[in-house]
Each structure stands twice: as C-alpha cells, then as structure tokens.
Amino acid sequence: MRNTMINNLTKSNKKHKKQSELQRVIKQLKKNKIAMLGLYILIVEIILAALAPYISRYGYAEMDLTACFATPSFKHFFGCDDMGRDIFSRVLYGGRYSISIGIIAVLIAVVVGICIGAVAGYFGGQVDNIFMRILDVVQAIPGMLLMIVISAVLGPGFMNTIIALSVSTIPGMARMLRAQMMKERDSEYIEAAKSINCSQFSIIFQHLLPNCISPLIVQATMGVAQTITLAAGLSFIGLGVQPPLPEWGAMLSAARSYIRQSPHLVIFPGLAIAVTVLALNLLGDGLRDALDPKLKN
C-alpha cells in the first residue's frame, strides 16, 4: 500500500514511474505461480515449435506407409496418421502455424483497433458516431460467420486466415480502447497536456495511450487464445490453413474421418490447442491481477 503511495508521489518523474510500474507488474506476476505456469508452458511450446526440425526425428510431411495409423509408442510418441506421418512431429510443426496465426492476427487487430478506438474515443462526436455505427454493422454479424464470409471471399490459406481473424477481432479491441479513452479523456493530466499546447497526436499516443494500455494487454493475451481456437475452427471446416500443412485444426479435420478406428489421431492436436489456450488464459488472468490490483479478489 505504502509502496503504491510512494509511486504515485513520484508520478512527476515519468521515466521513473514507468520503470517502477513495470517492475511492480513483473514482481506481481512472478508471485502468481499459476500465471507463471502458463507463461512457462507457452515458452516451452514456442521453443518446441521453433526447434521442431531439431527435436523431431521425422519431417511433418514425411510418410511411412508401413506405419499408417500406428498407435503411440517410443518410435512415434503420438502415433501416426492415415498416411503414416508422425503425429508428434506434426503437432510440433503445427505449433508454428497455430501460435503465429494467433499472435500476428491479434497484433494486427491491436494496431488497427488502437487507431480506430483512439480516434473515436478522443474526438468523440461525429467521428465517434460514424466509427461506432460501422462497428455496429460489423458486430451484427457473429464473429465465426464473418470469418467464414471473409474466407469465402479471399479463399483459404495462411495469410487469408490471419486477415479473416484480425478483421473479426478488431471491433472488440476498438470498442474497449474507445471506452478507456473516453474515461481518461477528461482527466486533469490531459487538460494539463492541452494547456501546454501538446499536439493532438502527442496527447493521444504519448499521454492517453499509455494509460489505456493495461486492459489492452490483458485483452490481447486472451485474444490470442481465442484466435488460436477460431483459427483451428476455421481450418477444421476447411476454410483456413489447408492440408498437408500441419495446422492443429486442419489435422483434426483430416483425422475426423478415422474417428472410429483411430481416435488417437483426434486426441493430440486437440490437446495441443487446449493446452496452449489454457496457458494463455492463465497468463491473461495473472496479468489482469498484476496490472490492476483493484480487480484482484
């Protein structure tokens, strides 16, 4: 308690405050064992995906027709699929696609969302009205449906999946940022900035944005989790990343036909999605608690 008071006192020294705020958040996060577990799982997953060629003994497209539908063993940890491809390798390589789709799509959505939300939230009035009515229209289409329509227009593929995902993530980001902006817009430090003749650009991006960033970070973390699920869903119905690329959803889609004979084909890619999403949610919960002590129960 006293520490935060002191932090507030040193607010005038902006750099110092930023430093100590970041340190406080990291310290808080480190104390939260569950959140750290999520973080460690993610780090391990990213390393496994990045080093997939060095870890796995088989390439993701390498077929061994003698091992079709092989069940898990020491030779093939997760077994083999219908074409005798090693599922463990495919899950590792798949992480590259799934995780990067999630992160890139959310990054794009964050950047565009910041621009829309910041402009609408800061200027208000007509500008805000126009943006919000457009978002109203976009959000009247359920997210999954919007993604399906966009995929129909653009066709399937890695980049197109990312575009479809980020377009449907933008409205949520923009709205949240706008609400934050409107809350902060009338604060005294903004009046102070205006009184010393800061440009509007600098007010928005240097003064307002840093104060709206906490909920954005949390939403972005959770957003990556959700985007990974959605991307897998899109690939699952055949509109996202296409086989033979080992994206997790696409793997599940292919495994569906063999569900009666070889359920292990279905288990592991889905487990990979679930573990990744779980880890991201754990981290997101921890970040929320660390960034906003008020919300902590």
Partner 1 sequence: MLRYIVKRLLWMIPIILGVTILVFTMMIFCPGDPAEIILGSTAMEADLAAKRVELGLDKPYLIRLATYISDVFFHFDLGVSWITNVDIMSTIADRMPRTLILAVVTLVIAFGLGIPLGITAATHQNKWQDHVSMVLALIGVAIPNFWLALLLIILFSVKLGWLPAMGVGTGLAGIQYYILPALANCAGALANSARQTRSAMLDVIRADYITTARSKGVAERQVIIKHALKNALLPIITTMGISFGRMLGGAMIIETIFSLPGMGSYIIGAVNNRDYPIVQGGSIMLAIAFSIAMLLIDLLYAAVDPRIKAQYASSKKRKKVKAVA
Where do contacts with partner 1 occur on this chain (CB under 8 A)? 129, 133-134, 136-138, 140-145, 148-153, 155, 225, 229, 232-233, 236-239, 249, 252, 255-256, 259-260, 263, 266-267, 270, 273-275, 277-278, 281-282, 297
Task: Please identify which residue in the block is written with the tokens 């964050």.
Answer: 110
State which residue, 142 or 293, has the beta carbon closest to partner 1.
Answer: 142
Minimum separation from the CB atom of position 290 to partner 1 (A) = 16
SS3 77: coil
Minimum separation from the CB atom of position 119 to partner 1 (A) = 19
Minimum separation from the CB atom of position 248 to partner 1 (A) = 9
State which residue, 133 or 194, has the beta carbon closest to partner 1.
Answer: 133
Which amino acid belongs to residue 83?
A: M
How many CA atoms lie within 13 Å of 20's alpha carbon, on the beta-carbon side?
15
CA-CA distance, 48 to 37, in Å (whole number)? Answer: 16
- Give which of 232, 227, 126 is closest to 170, Cα–Cα: 227
Minimum separation from the CB atom of position 133 to partner 1 (A) = 8
CB atoms within 10 A of CB 202: 12
State which residue, 72 or 270, has the beta carbon closest to partner 1.
Answer: 270
DSSP state of 71: P
State which residue, 41 or 63, has the beta carbon closest to partner 1.
Answer: 41
State which residue, 8 or 297, has the beta carbon closest to partner 1.
Answer: 297
Q: 266 near 252, Cβ under 8 Å? A: yes
DSSP string, 219-239: HHHHHHHHHHHHHHHHHHTTS
Minimum separation from the CB atom of position 121 to partner 1 (A) = 17
CA-CA distance, 272 to 253, in Å (whole number)? Answer: 14
State which residue, 110 or 251, has the beta carbon closest to partner 1.
Answer: 251
Minimum separation from the CB atom of position 176 to partner 1 (A) = 12
CA-CA distance, 249 to 144, in Å (whole number)? Answer: 15
CA-CA distance, 159 to 229, in Å (whole number)? Answer: 17
